[in-house]
Structure 1
């Protein structure tokens, strides 16, 4: 794998092709390359400072605007821009999942949708800085990541120290939450461009890399399964949600309740997956599982109206088919990995572990404390959910990878899809069981011309480079064949060679249709 970077960069310079950012799901991540025209260090820091300032201002102003909208439409509320700007300070901490305390009551059940949006903003700003600064190596990525994390952490600490009123936050928790959120987002923004993903791809086994790719697919599938459960619950609980909106009061209060439900939609999707996986969720004394329900009070919000307060019908157990379907999808994806059965089983294990780890982290972030009242602790049981996710994915995937018939297998070294049995038809000019072809055997000119048609001049070097790249897929570079490639004339270097340094002629039978220049390039 180590020679891939040396192939990527000359190919990009010589052909003038622009590959862009390669997705993590692709076979080959963005390779590490040296930047021939890097910007000066001072310009890089100015760009980084501008990006960090923009991210902080956009996040703060967006929070202030949302709070202003809610207070302006609420009943018996007086809109004051100064109050909205002050209230946006703890709101900015909530964007970065920093726990708050409101009049002595803890609040750590924070919405994930604003956090996802601010992380997307940070990742985009970090990628913009890397692109404008022309950084392409891992050692050039750490200043962007470190600066983003430290500045956000210090900003969260400063806000937590300044808060002195009904809303408070612990400075240490604020620093850790804000710094961790910004660091993860910044790393994701520059990981592919600066070769961080390439370093992982270069150092892990091909089966592990394939398992990580399938793990991302598994995580996307389980999120989709949670969304299906939530959508079904919303459709069945539409009258209860409408009644909750009616109880909220005026139209302005209904708008605030609707916005509060919208920002908690990712939390509800994860709760849907917890319900489908069988571990369920708990809101205070209310515990919801597919097989039983423990009644209890719940906050009067439209989104929480989907929670059942009595025993569920038996047909709700059909939700168990969703995690089973996720496991089958993982098994089919791992079935396409070439090699022995043990390689596919290793890929299944890696994919299941990756999906379970991601589920544990997000389920832990989606829960927390909701005051000291009857609602108490809101939890998705992260540890139990991660274990159930691992089992739901691994068991069906192993069964599919073991017993399903082989059709097409994806080669780990090239990414191409090939049949199970290789083609045994001998190529023209190849040695057969009866013996190698005679090198001096005469051949008619017309037969030789028919056996070896001349290759187009603008595609030969592209094919050579594609064959030299491990993990490469030839289909990804088909667009290069349409562009002419300027070849170097080997004769212009003949004057620099002495008689002893002349390259040896190609050894062995050349075979019909062999290109002498191509054989000399080796």
Structure 2
């Protein structure tokens, strides 16, 4: 067994597979059959699952309602486009308010396939193939759906959507899904490649936690409001003539539930959600025509109640928790709270984009959604100001200023350990033995060898050649050590097999 020093180990780790090399880029156009099958799955599986689900729902609806199947293909194509937030025009009604649940499911499938396709030693060429496959399949299906809607416009009251808008929405959403799926597998590698500072990484993670907390609290508020207005929800089902109509209204309500949750986040932070001329918030409620839809029965009516302002404690609490998270996972100082501010900004940006996607035109009722500018500013304020206050508290009473706690692990250190760890996939190609025992911190560079099976003694004299001379004492050389005399004496062997070695 050949022991290694720390410098040898680092040299071996540096030979680990790198994200991209010139040879990898040169072989961009070469694909193995196995890799081709993986890319085909990335391109086709989410689209095939989505189209199959839409076809089953459309055919089931048409058959149970007694309608003919003449417009089934156009309805399936419109469902695919609607699931990607492409605005539709049915007859003379513009439908820009589209459900978020199908969009989330399709993008989750696409992100999962991209994550499965990522290998530990993937190169930039591999990532390019994955992104290309993730975009190519949905765009091909979108082009077919646009052609189908063009043909079906003579049978059903469906206008073909704008081609540029359709391709833009599909490409943007699936690019986001591909980036998310890849980042979940090699996020530490991406941090290293992008050279993000520590505070940006902590702010990114903090923003994700803040968004999830606000969405979770908004979901609880929506469920409580639905339970409080259960009688009004029952009245909205009177328009359904039979069980099929009741099932359809219930299914639509579930599909649009994420939209209402995003709008509820705007209400929690103090903004207002609009349905045409009507609006509602914690400070005021303005009446107006509202569609007779079961889910919208949860919207409060009448004047705003005084106790509704208690809901403002929710974003304040989320901001405090976000500041504590940044204090635990970053080196933010009181005078430089970059992670705290970036976390608030990224969370506000993500929620503003979600609010814009969750809204849209709703026929004659007008636009339903949030005011993006006001919503973004208020959300940032609720997350930044209480977050900074909690950071001050943490730095004064919990951890020293600018010093992260002991349980904090730097993502860059985790990435380095992945390369240094003998058991990791990145270090699988190195010739490193996990049983090598060495100590990097000892100045005299003494290496511990495994003892042989036979009983023996190793007498060694270690002489260090001094490299510099001090006043009164000679200092040993830091890097030179030589074994000049060693004698192994075996005491239990027979006389004829006795070995003396020097």
TM over 0.5: yes
Instruction: Kindly report the root-mean-square deviation, in angstroms, between the aligned alpha carbons of the 2 structures.
Output: 4.2
Map 1:214-253 → 2, pairs under 5 A: 214-253=206-245
Equivalent of residue 54 in structure 1, options 33, 45, 57: 45
1:140 is the counterpart of 2:126: yes
1:216 and 1:201, CA in 2 relative to 1: closer, same or farther beyond 3 A? farther
Aligned length: 427
Alignment of 1:125-274 (within 5 A): 125-131=113-119, 136-164=122-150, 165=153, 166-167=157-158, 168-193=160-185, 198-199=190-191, 203-274=195-266
Q: CA deviation at 1:49?
A: 2.3
8 Å CA contact 1:31–1:198 kept in 2: the answer is: no
Q: Does 1:301 align with 2:301?
A: no
Partner of 2:386: 396
SS state of the match for residue 341, structure 1? coil
**Do structure 1's residue 119 and structure 2's residue 107 form an aligned pair?**
yes
User: Structure 1 residues 115 and 285, CA, compared in 2 at 3 Å: closer, same or farther?
Assistant: same
Q: In the alignment, is the contact (CA less than 8 A) between 1:100 and 1:107 conserved in 2?
A: yes
Aligned-partner Cα distance in 2 for 1:412–1:209: 16
SS in 2 for 1:470: helix
Q: 392, 407, 410: which is aligned to 1:417?
A: 407
CA distance in 2, matches of 1:253, 1:281: 28
Q: Give 1 or 2 for the bigger CA radius of gyration.
A: 2
Report the secondary structure of 1:193's partner residue: helix
- What SS does the corresponding residue of 1:106 show, helix, strand or coil? strand
State TM-score, norm by structure 1: 0.71
Alignment partner, residue 96 of structure 1: 84
CA contact (8 A) 1:344 1:401 kept: no
Matching residue of 1:453: none
Secondary structure at the aligned position of 2:57 is classed as helix
The alpha-carbon deviation at position 246 of structure 1 amounts to 3.5
Q: What do residues 146-193 of structure 1 show as CA deviations (whole Å, max 9, x unaligned)? A: 232244234323422431312221111111111111111112112343
The question of whether the paired residues in 2 share the 8 Å contact of 1:275 and 1:289 is answered with yes
Distance 1:408 1:271 in 2: 37
Shift of 1:234: 1.2
**What is the CA–CA distance in structure 2 between the aligned matches of 1:241 and 1:117, rounded to whole Å?**
26
Does the alignment pair 1:380 with 2:358?
A: no
How far is the alpha carbon of 1:341 from its aligned partner?
2.1
Tell me which of 467, 473, 486 is aligned to 2:435: 486
Instruction: Show CA shifts across 1:451-495 (max 9, x none).
Output: xxxxxxxxxxxxxxx999736899xx9998xxx923289899xxx
What is the Cα deviation at residue 80 of structure 1? 4.8
CA distance in 2, matches of 1:410, 1:151: 51
Listed one character per residue, the Cα deviations across residues 430-461 of structure 1 (whole Å, up to 9, x for unaligned) are xxxxxxxxxxxxxxxxxxxxxxxxxxxxxxxx
CA contact (8 A) 2:464 2:480 kept: no
Distance in 2 separating the partners of 1:116 and 1:505: 69
Distance 1:231 1:337 in 2: 33
C-alpha distance 310-468 of structure 1, shift in aligned 2 (>3 A):
closer
Residues 309-345 of structure 1, C-alpha deviations (whole Å, 9 max, x = no match): 3213221221111111111111211222454624762
Question: Would the alpha carbon gap of residues 51 and 486 (structure 1) be closer, same or farther in structure 2, given more than 3 Å must change?
Answer: same
1:338-383, Cα deviation, whole Å (9 max, x unpaired): 5462476211110000101101110110011111x1x111121122
Conserved? CA contact 1:334–1:344, under 8 Å: no
Q: Give, in whole Å, the separation in 2 of the partners of 1:410 and 1:153.
A: 51
Q: TM-score, normalised by structure 2?
A: 0.74
More off after superposition, 142-151 vs 166-175: 142-151
The yes-or-no answer on 1:323 pairing with 2:311 is: no
Maintained 8 Å contact 2:326/2:332: no
Out of 36, 55, 65, the position equivalent to 1:45 is 36
The DSSP-based 3-state class of the residue aligned with 2:288 is coil
**Separation in structure 1 between the aligned mates of residue 12 and residue 56 of structure 2, nearest angstrom:** 46
Structure 1, 154-163 or 78-87: larger mean CA deviation: 78-87
| Structure 2 equivalent of residue 427 of structure 1 | none
Cα distance in 2 for partners of 1:69, 1:31 equals 51
Q: 3-state SS of the aligned residue for 2:374?
A: helix
Query: Do 2:330 and 2:339's aligned partners in 1 also have CA atoms closer than 8 Å?
Result: no
Task: Rate the CA distance shift 1:214–1:250 in 2: closer, same or farther, 3 A.
Answer: same
